[in-house]
Amino acid sequence: MALNLQAASLLQSAAAMHKDVKACGSMKETSLFGAPIGGKFEPVSSLELRRRKVAVSPIRAQTAATTPAVTNSKPESKKTARKGNVIITGASSGLGLATAKALSETGEWHVIMACRNFLKAERAAKSVGMAKENYTIMHLDLASLDSVRQFVDSYKKSGRPLDVLVCNAAVYLPTAKEPTYTAEGFELSVGTNHLGHFLLARLLLDDLKESDYPSKRLIIVGSITGNTNTLAGNVPPKANLGDLRGLAGGLNGVASSPMIDGGEFDGAKAYKDSKVCNMLTMQEFHRRYHEETGVTFASLYPGCIAETGLFREHIPLFRLLFPPFQKYITKGYVSEEEAGLRLAQVVSDPSLTKSGVYWSWNKNSASFENQLSEEASDPEKARKVWEVSEKLVGLA
């Protein structure tokens, strides 16, 4: 759930409210928060989705010069009669739940809802009308590496094939004055959003590789706020991993800083930094494993979901003003339902099999390859983040 979009510096009337306001939108410099000024947003209706079954949208190429070389997965002639199996982390609310609903409604997917709270996930699935035969709930706490390993072990023992993994869950603590930590002692935002997902994806890669599904994919949700080549990404505090000294030190606040760059703790920046790690990780997966495994690796920014549980830790005035600001001022507002359709498209659309891509959508809900910032597409930094992360999660 990658939407800590800060609008304080762009909305003067809200500047006194809080310095951390979450900005949204596309990567184009001619837009404000990703929506062309004065442009009309035209969402796809859920009725149309049911008719199209997460239909293909036109793709407009806008590949960055700094992004890794991308390749199209080879078309596979083999077909499977079974449903596809997709794991979605953080599927009990927000973007994860909307995506689970969209995929389950097609009748072509079985969704594994990987969540911390089993009862919350069950209530959520029922509340949106998901048919019981289309989903399974499994416990996963990304803030505990032991929980990640237990989840992977349980999934493997189930004998269920794995066709798509969606790393979606996120922690966002913009008002936190002091850091909190995971079970292993990592700063919570980076420990959950990046390290937990990094271990999960690494441990499930062989399962994805062995899938006989027509298209197997690993998707990591990114964020515009981690891309400093955008207006939203330049709202302070900006993402910056520095020389990774804090990450290398374990982010524990004792032997090292709790921040990746070694600086003072900032909850909003910690989230943004974790999203840079997510996008770097996707590209490193692509470089290391796409050709060998045939797995499509992708990231995306589904748009500004101004009304989402991701903002539950923000101040009340922000939660009150941010949705109408996005709807009527920036025109960048995207509903949870629409964002869920977009992520579902990256999961299932036969046209979106290009690996190493960061997907975005224009005001007409058409998907296109977007440009990552210099830091978020730096292959050397991606390699270093990968190697340090391997050590922290016990894989090296």
Specify whether the CB–CB gap between 332 and 326 falls below 8 A. yes
Element (H, E) at 344: helix 336-348
Cα–Cα dist 350/13, whole Å: 44
CA 350/CA 362 separation, integer angstroms: 19
Task: Report the 3 state secondary structure along 304-343.
Answer: ECCCCHHHCCCCHHHHHHHHHHHHHHHCCECCHHHHHHHH
Is 271 in the active site? yes
Give the active site residue among 135, 155, 213, 271: 271
| Residue 59 DSSP SS3 | coil
Distance CA 393, CA 146 (A): 10
Asked whether 212 and 78 are in contact (CB, 8 A), the reply is yes
The length of the chain is: 396
Which residue in 48, 44, 161, 157 sits closest to 109, CA to CA? Answer: 161
User: How many helices (H) and strands (E) in the chain?
Assistant: 12, 12
Residue type, 59: I
Give the H/E segment covering residue 71.
Answer: strand 71-72
Tokens of 49: 């989705």
CA distance 174 to 371: 26
Is there a contact between 34 and 24 (Cβ–Cβ < 8 Å)?
yes
Annotated catalytic sites, by residue?
Answer: 271
